[in-house]
Amino acid sequence: MQFSPVFRYLMVPLRIAPLLLIVTFSVLFLIVMFAGLFGIPLGIILLAGFINYSFILLTAVTAGIDEPPVLTIENLNPVDARRSLTLLAIVVSVFFLSDAAAYWFGPIVAGLLGMLALIILPAVIAMQGVTGSLLQSLNLVRCFRLMLRLRGDYLQIIAWVGWFAMLGYVIFGTLAGSMVPLIVRFAFLMYAWLATFTLIGGVLRERRLDLGLDDANTPEWMEPETVDFSEVEKRRDRQVDAIYAEWRGGARVNAWASVSKLVEQSADPILELEWLYDRISQWPEPYLANRLAQELLPRLFAAKRPGDALDITRERLKAYADFRPLQGDDLIRLARLANDAGDRPAARAMLHNFQRFFPDDPLQPVAAELQQQLAR
């Protein structure tokens, strides 16, 4: 069974910083539950801080930051967490309205309203995370536009949210679920909530070129009817077509000069290289995509995005077994990353024939020792 690459973002909440938060807050919420009325103020602070951290995590994933941030004391201040309290109010309102709907209109109508809320809520979160604007996130017209632009990727988010909701019902609303310790149920709930945010951030990250997230805070992005995204796509298609014509015609130096010109003129060279790579990696011939990846890898390392560098390297190895980065130290770093991620086959493939690809590299002994470790 093939899973979409965006689902790897579901693992982000299991990294050290968010995982410690889940464990700590599970204990604190358990204390709140047994504290009665005295626990309400602490519960409000914890909820505001937790939801605020969700948006911090969403922003970090969308920006491509590899290591999740930690929660600071300032983030626990309910007064400064307006968007957190607003989202909390929306969730609580949906919960009580669904009960009211069940009472007045029956369980079928209540179920349909609940499903509609689950479908719309991720778009509200995404819009608020991208624009930082509460008003923009509550504009359902723009939320629906964002859903349509994300298309199948948004359906993946809905599938996860639906699964999370069903499993949450089993854990909190059934006799079998009541047998699970309360602290474990709290931990599951917090993981699933954070995973929803990281999945949304991951989809936004993967679709940043199509969505134009660099301009997400501009009036043009907030008012998509004022910008013709089809023209942007047509312009990009023309640029790639021109590069393809040069490459296929044998003028490979000219083709690379065209690529370099686009990158040099861009305000964000990494973003420019990424969208070029996304298009050109679809060509049947892998060589220009390989060259783009080689140019991109050291920039991703410099931007502290080793995870993206590893993903691109593994993708190129599948397309072309002899792909290697330009520098031997980058290759060793990638092999170690793959090994740490549990992908020993990819790490071994990277180090295969290291001496042939980097004959004069002083790191050959390091590569040989790492190969021996991977062979065990």
Average pLDDT for runs of 10 along the chain of length 376: 64 88 90 82 81 81 74 58 54 53 57 72 76 64 78 82 82 81 89 89 75 49 46 73 83 87 83 85 88 92 85 90 91 89 87 89 90 82
Q: What is the pLDDT of residue 339?
A: 85
Of 303, 323, 343, the one marking the end of a domain is: 323
Report the candidate in 23, 44, 50 with the shortest Cα–Cα distance to residue 32.
Answer: 44
Q: What is the pLDDT of residue 122?
A: 82
In terms of domains, do 178 and 241 share one?
no
In terms of domains, do 238 and 263 share one?
yes
In terms of domains, do 157 and 176 share one?
yes
Count of structural domains within the chain:
3
Neighbouring residues of 232: CB distance < 8 A, sequence distance ≥ 6: 212
In terms of domains, do 332 and 263 share one?
no
Q: CA–CA separation, 30 vs 344, rounded Å?
A: 40
Q: Do the beta carbons of residue 9 and residue 198 sit within 8 Å?
A: yes
Of 307, 323, 339, the one marking the end of a domain is: 323
Q: Which two tokens mark 345?
A: 């086959």
The dihedral built from the CA positions of residue 286, 290, 293 and 295, taken in this order, carries a sign that is negative
Q: What is the pLDDT of residue 94?
A: 54
In whole angstroms, how large is the CA radius of gyration of the chain?
24
Q: Do the beta carbons of residue 296 and residue 268 sit within 8 Å?
A: no
Print the domain residue range for 208. Answer: 5-224
For 9, phi then psi, to 5°, come to: -70, -15
Q: CA–CA separation, 335 vs 82, rounded Å?
A: 43
Tell me which DSSP letter residue 215 carries. Answer: G
Q: CA–CA separation, 300 vs 296, rounded Å?
A: 6
In terms of domains, do 165 and 100 share one?
yes
In terms of domains, do 162 and 119 share one?
yes
Report the chain's terminal Cα–Cα distance, integer Å. Answer: 29
In terms of domains, do 22 and 101 share one?
yes
Cβ neighbours around 110 below 10 Å, total: 18
Neighbouring residues of 255: CB distance < 8 A, sequence distance ≥ 6: 243, 244, 246, 247, 288
For 220, phi then psi, to 5°, come to: -65, -35
Query: Alpha carbon 329 to chain centroid distance?
Result: 27
In terms of domains, do 52 and 165 share one?
yes
Q: What is the pLDDT of residue 145?
A: 78
Q: Do the beta carbons of residue 374 and residue 346 sit within 8 Å?
A: no
In terms of domains, do 209 and 249 share one?
no
For 79, phi then psi, to 5°, come to: -65, -35
Q: What is the pLDDT of residue 220?
A: 44
In terms of domains, do 302 and 357 share one?
no
In terms of domains, do 289 and 319 share one?
yes
In terms of domains, do 141 and 160 share one?
yes
Q: Do the beta carbons of residue 244 and residue 283 sit within 8 Å?
A: yes
Of 224, 253, 288, the one marking the end of a domain is: 224
